[in-house]
Structure formats: C-alpha cells, structure tokens
C-alpha cells in the first residue's frame, strides 16, 4: 500500500470540524425539544461555515489559519458554557480537535495561548460538572504544549541538519571541481605536452631519415629514451589518481608504502624517516595528508629532475610535521617562504597550497636553485 508524500491534513481536519459541529448541533436541538433557540442558530451558522471551508479545502496556515483557530476557540467556549452537563463529552472531544489543529498548523506559542484561555474559562464557569471538563482541558493542553515544543525543537534540528548538508554538498562540489581542474592542468602540463613533443619529434625524424639515415638513427634512440621517460611520467600520473589506501589508523605506515611505491615507479631513490605509531588524525584529514604527500612526490618527479628524495614524518607537540626534500633543480626563486608569503608573491605549487589551507596547516617552502628544494607541512592535531 502506498501513501501520499504529503498527508492532506487541512482537508481531513476541516471535515472533522464539520462532523463535530453537526453532532453538537443535532444533540443540542434534541436537548432543546422545542423550537430553534439562539444557541442552535449559532451552532448552525458555525456548521455551515465549517462545511464551506471543508469544501474549499484551503490551507489553514498564516493569518487565515489564526482566524480559524480563534473562531474554533470561541465555538468551544460557547458550547462549554451552554450546558456543561448535557454537552460535556462533545465539548471535550472538540477541545481535543482544537489542540490537534493548533499542533498541526501553528506553533507552541499559539497552542499555549489557546490551552491557557480554555483552562481559565473552564475554571471560572459556575458549574460543578465543569470540573471534569477542566481536567481534560488542563491535561490535554499541557500535553499539546509539550508536543508543540518538542516538534519545534525537532524542526529546528532538521533545519540545522539541512543547512549543514547543503554546506557539505557545496563544499564537496567545490572540492570536486578543484580536483578536476588540478587533474586537467596536470594532464596538460605532463602527459599531453609530452605526447605533443613526441609527435613533433617523430615528424622531424621522418624528414631526417629521408636525408641522413645515420643521424636519423641517433635521433630515434633519443626518441626511444623520451618515450620511456613519458611512460614513467604517465604511470606516475595514473598512480596519483588512484584512491588512497589507508592502513587503518597508522598514517606513517601508509606514507612509507607511498614512498616505496614512488621509488619503484619513478626509479628515484627515496629515504623515509618516521616511526610506525598512530597519529590520531580523522579519516578525512588522513586521506588529504596522504594525497598531499603523493602530489609533492609527483611534482618532484615531474619538475625537479632529482636523483634523490628524502621524506620525513614526525608527530610532535606542535602537530604532525611532514617534509619532502630533493636534490633537483629547485624553483626559479631562492629563499625560504611561508604559505602567506607564497600567496602574496604568487609563488609555489598552487594545489599544495590549497591542500595546506584545507588542513589549516603551516607550510614552509625552501628553494635552492641548482641544488634542490624542500617543502614542510605542520598539521595541527586536535
């Protein structure tokens, strides 16, 4: 059995109001026994208005909803004051309907005001039998107020959760877009440029072979070396796109495996320093740290021309410290710079700077042109 996504409470409650008004009118007329009194006339007018509202099926929220709630409250007070003994159970049932209406279409303030007015009215009526109705009004009113407050709290929690979900979705979409841009940039600067260069060299080789086969063979050997280098670059690029495999909570052990894998695929010797001890980073930060390490090593292979790399990872009182040093060409600038200085001068690898900001990490970049470079991250531990 399937149910509608939104239950049509306004329509059903409107017909419940009309049905209760009809029962009260019939019962009151039977009790009168002769003619049509002013009280029965008022009940008839309320019944006609209730049927009209039910037929139209309008929503009972907003100002019209408040007017309907006020009218239903006045109707209850009239019925309760007419004869507490003869219409006692009808009055009690209609009060329960009144609380249901307030709960469904209004908040705890309106529910509390209506329950308080009805309770005070029943307390001042000069009928002994009204005490039974007063008990129902007080107990049902307190329950309705409690439910209204709890419903408001859950609604606020739901709205807060919805806002957090929307923020998370926006952050995920932004991170995904930035990652796509980084991959596209890396592919353009790496494999794509290499293949374009290879295509141009092949065209030159074809023309050279027509003129001088000996020189062409020399150039062919150089192209073979270039192709091998491009294969290594492409393998490193594909490896950097793979999901990070985290070894439980042991970040250092996973980082060590990452360095060993880089050495195997790039052919560049790597020295790794770090004790295999739990670091205590959340899962999301752990993945980001490992991706940052892989990206730093990939940059060394792609740009540095290094023959040796040293990686260190250490947990200190100030946080998790990670450093990557190489003996390659270094950057075009010389000196040691912080993340803020690199941002100001627009220097350094943009993707690593972005990852450092996302981790709230300190970054220190040292460039030694012709003698290598080193980058160090300090990630705060919570």
Q: Is 26 helix (H, G, I), strand (E, B) or coil?
A: helix
**Dihedral sign of CA atoms 32, 37, 39, 43 in order:** positive
In a domain, 91, yes or no: yes
CB 200 within 8 A of CB 223: no
State the CATH number of the domain containing residue 346.
3.30.565.10
Boundary (domain end) residue, out of 141, 165, 189: 165
Structure confidence at residue 44 (pLDDT): 87
Structure confidence at residue 225 (pLDDT): 72
Structure confidence at residue 64 (pLDDT): 80
Q: Could you report the per-residue pLDDT of 290-315, keeping only the tens digit for each?
A: 888 888 888 888 777 888 889 888 88
Q: What share of the chain is helix, strand, coil (3-state, %, to 5)?
A: 70, 10, 20
In a domain, 109, yes or no: yes
Q: Could you report the per-residue pLDDT of 168-223, keeping only the tens digit for each?
A: 888 777 777 776 776 666 666 556 666 776 777 777 777 777 677 777 677 777 77
Are 160 and 27 found together in one domain? Answer: yes
Structure confidence at residue 143 (pLDDT): 92
In a domain, 170, yes or no: no
- Tokens 């900001």, located at residue: 357
- In this structure, the number of other CB atoms found within 10 A of the CB of residue 57 comes to 12
Are 257 and 381 found together in one domain? Answer: yes
pLDDT at 377 over 60: yes
- Reported as half-sphere exposure (CB side, CA atoms, 13 A), residue 94 has a value of 26
- Tokens 């300190």, located at residue: 362
Are 123 and 260 found together in one domain? Answer: no
Among 53-62, 149-158, 353-362, name the most confident range. 149-158
Are 15 and 159 found together in one domain? Answer: yes
Domain count for the chain: 2
In a domain, 96, yes or no: yes
Are 161 and 28 found together in one domain? Answer: yes
In a domain, 261, yes or no: yes
Structure confidence at residue 248 (pLDDT): 44
Are 288 and 381 found together in one domain? Answer: yes
Q: What would the mean pLDDT of 328-341 be, rounded to a whole number?
A: 85
In a domain, 176, yes or no: no
Strands (DSSP E) found in 64-139: none
Q: pLDDT band at 4, cuts 50/70/90?
A: very low
Q: Shortest CA distance to 347 belongs to which of 359, 360, 331? A: 331
Structure confidence at residue 5 (pLDDT): 43
Q: Could you report the per-residue pLDDT of 226-259, keeping only the tens digit for each?
A: 676 666 666 666 655 555 555 545 778 888 888 8
Are 16 and 146 found together in one domain? Answer: yes
Backbone angles phi, psi at 333, to 5 degrees: -110, 165
Task: Tell me the C-alpha distance between 71 and 67, whole Å.
Answer: 6
Q: Shortest CA distance to 305 belongs to which of 201, 233, 245, 216? A: 233
In this prediction, what percent of the chain has a pLDDT beyond 70?
A: 80
Task: Tell me the C-alpha distance between 259 and 81, whole Å.
Answer: 86
Residue 352: left if φ>0, alpha if ψ -120 to 50, beta else—which one? alpha
In a domain, 308, yes or no: yes
Task: Tell me the C-alpha distance between 35 and 148, whole Å.
Answer: 43
Query: Kind and range of the H or E element at 122?
Result: helix 108-124
Are 14 and 161 found together in one domain? Answer: yes
Q: What is the pTM of this model?
A: 0.50
Are 255 and 135 found together in one domain? Answer: no
Q: Is 310 helix (H, G, I), strand (E, B) or coil?
A: strand
Q: Could you report the per-residue pLDDT of 121-134, keeping only the tens digit for each?
A: 888 877 777 777 88
In a domain, 228, yes or no: no
Boundary (domain end) residue, out of 165, 195, 223: 165
Q: What letter does residue 362 receive in the DSSP assignment?
A: E
The separation between CA 138 and the C-alpha centre of its own chain, rounded to angstroms, equals 42
Boundary (domain end) residue, out of 130, 165, 200: 165
Structure confidence at residue 181 (pLDDT): 72
Q: What domain range is 322 assigned to?
A: 246-382
Instruction: Output the average pLDDT for the chain.
Output: 79
Backbone angles phi, psi at 179, to 5 degrees: -70, -40
Task: Tell me the C-alpha distance between 185 and 3, whole Å.
Answer: 50
């Amino acid at each position: 059995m399937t149910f509608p996504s939104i239950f049509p409470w306004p329509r059903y409650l409107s017909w419940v109001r009309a049905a209760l008004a009809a029962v009260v009118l019939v019962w009151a007329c039977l009790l009168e026994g002769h003619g049509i009194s002013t009280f029965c006339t008022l009940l008839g007018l309320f019944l006609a208005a209730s049927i009209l509202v039910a037929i139209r099926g309008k929503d009972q929220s907003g100002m019209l909803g408040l007017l309907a709630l006020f009218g239903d409250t006045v109707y209850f007070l009239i019925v309760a004051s007419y004869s507490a003994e003869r219409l006692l159970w009808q009055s009690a049932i209609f009060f329960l309907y009144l609380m249901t209406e307030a709960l469904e279409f209004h908040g705890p303030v309106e529910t509390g005001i209506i329950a308080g007015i009805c309770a005070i009215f029943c307390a001042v009526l000069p009928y002994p039998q009204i005490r039974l109705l007063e008990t129902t009004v007080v107990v049902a009113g307190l329950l309705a107020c409690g439910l209204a407050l709890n419903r408001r709290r859950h609604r606020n929690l739901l709205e807060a959760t919805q806002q957090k979900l929307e923020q998370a979705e926006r952050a995920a979409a932004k991170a995904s877009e930035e990652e796509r841009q980084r991959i596209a940039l890396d592919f353009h600067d790496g494999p794509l440029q290499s293949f374009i260069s290879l295509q141009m060299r092949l065209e030159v080789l074809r023309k050279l072979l027509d003129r001088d086969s000996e020189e062409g063979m020399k150039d062919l050997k150089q192209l073979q070396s270039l192709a091998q280098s491009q294969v290594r670059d492409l393998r490193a690029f594909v490896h950097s796109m793979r999901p990070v495999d985290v070894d439980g909570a042991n970040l250092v052990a996973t980082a060590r495996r990452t360095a060993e894998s880089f050495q195997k695929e790039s052919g560049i010797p790597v020295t790794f320093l770090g004790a295999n001890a739990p670091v205590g980073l959340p899962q999301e930060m752990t993945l980001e740290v490992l991706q940052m390490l892989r990206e730093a090593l990939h940059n060394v292979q792609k740009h540095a021309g290094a023959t040796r790399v040293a990686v260190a990872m250490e947990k200190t009182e100030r946080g998790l410290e990670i450093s990557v040093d190489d003996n390659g060409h270094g950057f075009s600038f010389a000196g040691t710079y912080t993340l803020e200085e690199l941002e100001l001068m627009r220097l350094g690898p943009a993707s690593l700077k972005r990852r450092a900001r996302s981790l709230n990490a300190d970054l220190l970049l040292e460039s030694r042109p012709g003698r290598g470079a080193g980058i160090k991250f300090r990630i705060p531990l919570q």
